Structure 1
Amino acid sequence: MRDALLMGAILGVLCAVTGSYLIVRQMSMIGDVIAHSVVPGISLAFFWGWDLTLGAFISGLLSAILVALIEQRSPIKVDAAMSLTLTSFFACGILLIARLRTNQVDLTKLLFGDILEVTPGDVWRTALITLGILLLVKLLYKELLFYSFDPLGAQASGLPVQWLYVGLISAITLTIVATMQVVGVLLVTALLIGPAITAYLWVKELHQMMILGGILGALATVGGMYASYYFDLPSGPAIVLVIFAAFLVALCFSPRQGLLTKHWQRGNPPQR
């Protein structure tokens, strides 16, 4: 249980940082694409005896690059490219699992995760991934900030925007691969996006969004695990629902953008 709690707290922070960039770049769906696209890589890696993380990373990264190529070099819109890539990679993965008879790949755990089965080795590996990504974000914060809000301006100023894109997608793919063990392929986007958009409703600056999102993500993950333990619920869905509950609170009561807050302010204008 201790390893699971540590893993949840670490991933809560990691997902908030990478998810914040997805929000400001309006690329939320690419997380879903990558999450579903790791399945063929996992299948082949298991069949060939490779590390599953490596196979998942390569497959997820290829899917994101494919989406970018389709968007840039064809008249196809990015949402259509994402939809086709997501379903095609996922279908390919399921067929590979069936065809290669990799029966030891547990589809239930792959789809929904099981954080209670993490090992100390998983925690250390995730901690190293998190440390590496946080260090890169710290070193390239200004460049990534410029690229995230104004990619054309960043390109005009001479920044290597293609490499920044590849680096950002690589970080997101690593985050998703690490998070799959917690909530699975189908729910990973909620942990990646949920804390970030919840923080977005409360704060204005990107660095504040990352910090608050990290705190919310860690608390929501740990809270979801306790809920799953005491109420005998699957851990992945429990974590996602706790995140969704936190988002609903922010959506209603955020001082700047809360729906109920705005309604109350309209009904009670400030006195002069």
Structure 2
Amino acid sequence: MTLQYCQNCWFNGLQFGALGLAVGYCARHKKILNAPDSTTCGQQIRKDLGLSRAQAVSVIHSEQFDQNKIVRWIDNIEVKSDTSISSRDNNILRTDIVAEAVTDYGNLDSKIESLSQLKALSLKTARADVAFVSLGRSYVRNCIRNGGKWISGIHLYWWTKRRLAHVPDIAIEELRFLGSAQITRQIDLTKWSIIMLKLTLVDDIVQYSRESNDELGSTPGLLDYVADHISTFNVRRLSLFIRKEIIPLLDSHLNYDRYQEISRELHKDN
């Protein structure tokens, strides 16, 4: 699997590795992705990487592919059948509850409204977690690049942190493929990947706060911190480590009282 494909991009909230629907959806190009495991564009940014590395790789990637075209990764050729803007296709896609929220992203009064819907849906399906984090990372990065403060992502940070240690349930019908792995192995790999994906959103906001010299920024890089302490692939152990080590560490710099204070500041600025 090439990680520069559309299926691994922030702007596609419907897929991540083995998890997701048969088709993806690009929130940037507003197109259904019929061949997300073979296409890409110059705006692709990898959701399996932490912020700094993802942005560095994205710069290199943008030099090789047109930002305004979805093309085949292998030959850089645009194939019309690889995507769809058909209203009939879109209506079919929207019969899925997660896809409905994803396709609405950017079309409703506020992108936060769509993210809030995905937050609620995450209690029902792990696919909503993927969509929430993927589009959430894009939302905060866009706010920062447009001159906003790191606190623009404070609600996403708090919502994600609350469920950071949660081990998601994965139903067999939510998997796009198994490859050569046994079902139990693939499900465990997917659970691990989703937990780590949620950690990337929290880590993004920690990094943004660090650049603004906020107290939260004194938290060490979370992805490296986990890698240094969890040496074996064990989902339960990862969850336990996050609950006992990561969350208290984060709370020592940003507890609920400070969250409320920042929320009031954000509301005042708006």
Q: TM-score if structure 2 supplies the norm length?
A: 0.30
Q: Please state which structure has a larger fraction of its residues in strand.
A: 2
Q: Please state which structure has a larger fraction of its residues in helix.
A: 1
Higher relative contact order (CA 8 A, sep 6+): 1
